[in-house]
Structure 1
Amino acid sequence: MVELILNTKFIRQYQNKFPLIRKEAILNPEVLSEEGEIIHLVDANHQFVAKGYYGEQNKGLGWVLTYNESEKIDTSFFKNRILTAINKRQPFFNDKYTNTFRIFNGEGDGIGGLTIEYFDGYYVINWYSEGIYSYKQQVISALEEVIDYKAIYEKKRFDTKGKYIDDDDFVQGTRGEFPLIVKENGMNFAVYLNDGAMTGIFLDQRDVRRVIRDKYARGKHVLNTFSYTGAFSVAAALGRASKTTSVDLAKRSKSKTIEQFSINGIDFEQQDIYVMDVFDYFKYAKRKEKKFDMVVLDPPSFARSKKRTFSTAKDYPGLIKDTLDITEKNGVIVASTNTASFDMNQFKKLVDKGFKESGEKYQILEEYSLPQDFKTNKQYKQSNYLKVLIVKKL
């Protein structure tokens, strides 16, 4: 156990159960040596404030696990946290139309740096630091005690060079046959739990996909930018869109999107799928005078291609302006970001700036953040990272 002395001005924050061990809050970070070691946060008089673990993420030095000095960080600790989280998700386990969701969401469920997702009997553990990964055996033992599973897979997301550690993701159980076809609100999605960092679907957009299908897509020509495996396009097509157009720079996005259409009984040859830079597509569409009734914008927080870099905070207004050039009057834009560094009000300002600079008026129809299974921590606003605005161009 290592004692970290808190800067006086941060003590109240941790007494109020702030979960992230921030670098600037610590006076003696040099005492840290090995990721995974247990930390006691103390005041200048060495009075206990909180207990956590050392695990470097881009967000900080580690996470608080408990405010009880005598609570041990062992298999029983992990079992209690995971069981509490699973009990809160019982409505999802009982939903016959959805069999994939998040069962444990990091600091929202009491253990920052750890998430666990459920895919129809298969579980995927995401480790976000070497520190939390050092508790692998305790976490897996705890999981085994509280769930029945077909297999457990893992994703190690903590390589120091910012790259995914690409080795065999299988942990134990019976290896799955992939693609595994899962259901979300009655839609089918193909997922691969053994194929690198991505599974094929971002579960945090479940509510947005549903509302696109049920409320906005009918009769519309829908453009899905940064389309990844085409999940928004599938939702739009199942919602009786007249046509979908999917655009993504990644070469395998085309075959993945065709696969998602096919397992839903949608004729992919009636849809347009482009492998190209989204910004080049905007220029092409403008040149060809293409117009869309609905455009989905869900870019990565930061992306770099050979031609350009994209950063949400800097470039989102420009993305809105490019989109408005090819959006019909009364068209709908689904503007989304998963950038944790600013809140919904700041995101609204970025969208507003794009409209104002284009001289266009708009109306916000709906807003979305994380779905219920992505439990957040009220003391740590960044844990509610997803911001989605459904905006009508007037």
Structure 2
Amino acid sequence: MNILTVSPFAEKKIKQGKQLLLAEDFPNIAENNQLVYLYSQSKEFLGTGYLSSQNKGIGWFLSPKKQQLTVTYFQGLFEKAKARRQSYYANDLTTAFRLFNQDGDDFGGLTIDLYGDYALFSWYNVFIYSLKDIIVEAFQTVFPEVLGGYEKIRFKGLDFESDHLYGQEAADTFTILENGVTYEVFLNDGLMTGIFLDQHEVRDGLVNGLALGKSVLNMFSYTAAFSVAAAMGGAVETTSVDLAKRSRELSTAHFEANGFSMENHRLVVMDVFDYFKYAKKKGLFYDLIVIDPPSFARNKKRTFSANKDYHKLIAQSLDILSEYGTIIASTNAANMTVQQFKKQLRKGLGDVSADFVNLQQLPVDFAVNPNDPTSNYLKVYTIKVNK
């Protein structure tokens, strides 16, 4: 077993309960893709971790014990994770949710989602990918009811992003239920699946009263899941805007799966900022505007960073928001704190009076590490604007 002596700063973070290991705390690391025992500079044993670069961090702390990564070890993790999610198993209105969530379930670098009868494994680094056989073996013993598995490769270096992993193969597209709403999903077509499961509580609010009788604008709509939830919740009309041409086809599939005609549901393929200008010019107004941008995006016209530019989305929303309208503002930027996000929103509101009705973060199936705020990356404010 490789031994790694950590800096006092890294030691402090580990003792605080943070599991993500950052490059800045390990400046001279040459090793990679291996299990390590971590020691302080005073030779105190801190625990077991692993090193493997991914989109955030260079590895993960796993346990204060000397730990071997066996099938039995992963079975224990999966049994605890399954027990924490029994409320979802008891809910007949939802068949898609997260089964295992990185450091929230005490093993960073791995997520597993359930889509009906199928599991979707996401591997975030080379080390976790090298363990996939024993992880899948452990998973099958704890989740024997799952018919088959798929995988997503969320690190660079392989020549594919998605594949069938084990068991029965799903249809190319099939439907799942969430809060009683039907969504069409796909598990073996790039990194996307047709829906972002971490937003299911926000969509539940739209289904259960927030959208009733309202005209809804859904910006950065992807497959218009928010719009479909709003339609199920009694919205009189929805408009979904996304720059990706494929969004039209995928969005239509969700609406049709619930028996909606597209008569009162517009799908617009356009840059969001261009649509703000278009709607203002045309004198369009909406009672409820949903804003859920990527944390960073670039197209031919502009670059968007949630940390710097979110306020512009709020400011331009005000121009087309009905009197006493509502904004649902969402970000998944892990490097933005709740306070920083709220500051961006207030900057966008300017002098306009507004009530921040509630803040929603990750739902309980997306278990978080309570000792690391960046683990709870989702931040969604519902704002009632008094104008």
User: Aligning the two structures, in what range does the TM-score lie when normalised by the shorter sequence?
Assistant: over 0.9
CA deviations on 1:322-366 (whole Å, 9 max, x unpaired) are 11111011000000000000221211111000011xx31111112
Letter in structure 1 aligned against 2:337: D
Q: In structure 2, give the amino acid aligned to 1:312.
A: A
**Secondary structure of 1:190 counterpart:** strand
Any idea what SS the aligned residue of 1:241 has?
Answer: coil
Paired residues for 1:1-394 under 5 Å = 1-26=1-26, 28-30=28-30, 32=31, 34-35=32-33, 37-69=34-66, 71-148=67-144, 149-159=146-156, 166-356=160-350, 359-394=351-386
Q: Secondary structure at the match of 1:85?
A: helix
**RMSD value, Cα:** 1.4
Q: Deviations over 1:268-292 (max 9, x none)?
A: 1321110111111111101101111
In the TM superposition, what is the alpha-carbon distance from 1:142 to its structure 2 partner? Answer: 0.6
Secondary structure of the residue aligned to 2:263 is helix
Could you give the per-residue CA deviations for residues 207-262 of structure 1, whole angstroms, max 9, x where no partner exists?
10011121211111100010000100001111111100000000110011111000
In the TM superposition, residue 166 of structure 1 has moved relative to its aligned partner by 3.2
The CA deviation at 1:154 is 0.5
Aligned residues: 385
Determine helix, strand or coil for the equivalent of 1:317: helix
1:126-165 CA deviation, whole Å, 9 max, x = no partner?
11111211111111111111112211000000016xxx95
3-state SS of 1:253 partner = helix
What is the distance in 1 between the residues matched to 2:159 and 2:330?
28
Contact 2:152 2:161 in 1 (8 A): no
Q: Displacement of 1:17 after TM fit? A: 2.6
CA contact (8 A) 1:157 1:165 kept: no
CA contact (8 A) 1:17 1:67 kept: no
- Maintained 8 Å contact 1:5/1:28: no
> By how many angstroms is 1:28 displaced?
4.1
Return the letter of the residue paired with 1:198: M
Q: For structure 1, which runs of at least 5 residues remain unmatched after alignment?
A: none
Shift of 1:47: 3.0
What are the Cα deviations for residues 31-71 of structure 1, in whole angstroms up to 9, with x where unaligned?
x0x41x111111224332121111112321100111102x3
Distance 2:47 2:26 in 1: 13
**Whole-angstrom distance in 1 between the partners of 2:87 and 2:27:** 45
Q: Which runs of 5+ in 2 are unaligned?
A: none
Whether the 8 Å CA contact 1:5–1:26 is kept in 2: the answer is no
Task: State percent identity of aligned pairs.
Answer: 42
TM-score by length of 1: 0.95
- Letter of the 2:91 partner, please give it: D
The structural deviation recorded for 1:83 is 1.3
Q: SS of 1:169's equivalent?
A: strand
- Deviation (angstroms), 1:27: 5.9
Q: Distance in 2 between matches of 1:48 and 1:284?
A: 61
Counterpart-to-counterpart distance in 2, 1:195 and 1:77: 31
SS of 1:286 mapped into structure 2? helix
Given that residues 47 and 63 in structure 2 are in contact (C-alpha distance below 8 angstroms), is that contact kept between their aligned partners in structure 1?
yes
Q: 1:134 to 1:216 in 2, by over 3 A?
A: same
TM-score (norm 2): 0.97
Deviations 1:265-317 (A, max 9, x none): 11113211101111111111011011111100000000111111110011001
Relative distance call for 1:159 and 1:264 in structure 2 (3 A) is same
Tell me which amino acid in the other structure corresponds to 1:67: P
Q: Could you say what secondary structure the match of 1:57 adopts? A: coil
* TM superposition outliers: structure 1 runs of 4+ over 6 Å: none
- Secondary structure at the aligned position of 1:29 is classed as coil
Is the 8 Å Cα contact of residues 360 and 379 (structure 2) preserved in structure 1?
A: yes
